[in-house]
Structure 1
Amino acid sequence: MSDNNSEDQQASLKLFVVLSKAYKSIMDQAVKDMRNYNLSSAEFMVLEVLYHKRRIPLQQIGEKILVTSGSVTYNIDKLEKKQLIRRVPCKEDRRVVYAEITDAGIEWFDRIFPAHAASIHSMMHELTTEEKHLTTELLKRLGKGTQNRT
């Protein structure tokens, strides 16, 4: 193995460790913030998707928030009991059921989301706006590159 290839491999390993630690640190803080609203992180993420999309097929929620379909069902049930969302059968295709945020869910999320967004923003204070854009693009490229390898 040439020194250049070895150096590149070491850089890849270092990036993996640093990326993993940064993700864990940021997610730990984000989850702590989400719990302030008496929601699990999965409940919060489902509600956030519905807040922005308003209605989405249940089958697509897991892809949006990276959780299993069983977890989606469990969290949809919990949010439905809290009357923040509802299930809506599709009129055209009986196999499809939508999750839809309720008016109460919208009102509640209108109140809590600005504080959550501010919390996330404060976690990113080490980077300038330009660095955030660059990091976002690099991470997208990194993620897409790994998808192409499967």
Structure 2
Amino acid sequence: MAGPTRWLTPEEQAAWRAYLGSTRLLVHALDRQLEADAGLSFTEYETLVRLSEAPGRRLRMRDLAGASAATRSGVTRTVTRLERAGLVRRVECEQDRRGMHAELTDAGAAALAAAAPGHVASVRAHLFDHLDPADVGRLRELFGRIRDGLDVTGEGAQAVPPAA
């Protein structure tokens, strides 16, 4: 038996709701900006960033799914859309013919480079312009601790690299 429920205190409840509300609004604002300015969804942008930061601009599809918040099927759909647009290509894994890599194309790198300044400006306007430097350090420390507590791989921060 799990024992009695540990209900949230009023302060914890307020913090939880503030976190949920701000996270939803932030992701929605970032998604809107990327769609309007670059024709990319937030998920597509994150995928391009992760590929751009990978050795050889290539990641195994399962590793791409593990590095993002998306499911494997979600990553497959995203990569399919990016592939149709010529921004990503699928490449067979040399070590395992059953596996596939997603690889950033030159057109994908160019699209990412074009989208990045507007995205970073949006991140700054919607998040960092509301914080002072001490807040930024504290936010990094707090969310790093939360991330590490949720990391089921045991690989720490390296399991999910940051996306811009």
The TM-score range, normalised by the shorter chain, is: 0.7 to 0.9
TM-score (norm 2): 0.78
Question: How big is the shift at 1:51?
Answer: 2.0
Residue of structure 2 equivalent to 1:32: 32
CA deviation vs aligned residue, 1:55-106 (integer Å, no higher than 9, x gap): 1110111222211111111111110111101111111221221111001111
CA distance in 1, matches of 2:143, 2:13: 15
Give the whole-Å Cα distance in 1 for the aligned partners of 2:93 and 2:150: 35
Aligned-partner residue type, residue 136 of structure 2? K
TM-score (norm 1): 0.85
Match for residue 134 of structure 1 among 130, 138, 148: 138
Q: Which runs of 5+ in 2 are unaligned?
A: 1-5, 153-164
Q: CA deviation at 1:146?
A: 5.2
Task: Output the CA distance in 2 between the equivalents of 1:73 and 1:58.
Answer: 8
How far off its partner does 1:141 sit?
1.5
Asked which structure has the greater CA Rg, the reply is: 1
CA distance in 1 between partners of 2:112 and 2:24 (Å): 25
1:8-47 alignment, distance < 5 Å: 9-36=9-36, 37-47=38-48
- Cα separation, 2, equivalents of 1:129 and 1:14: 24
Q: Secondary structure at the match of 2:9?
A: helix
Q: Which has the higher helix share?
A: 1
Q: What is the aligned counterpart of 1:119 among 109, 118, 122?
A: 122
Find the counterpart in structure 2 of residue 87 from structure 1: 90
Identity of aligned residues (%): 24
Any conservation in 1 of the 2:48–2:109 contact (CA below 8 Å)? no
Letter of the 1:122 counterpart: A
Q: CA RMSD in A?
A: 2.0
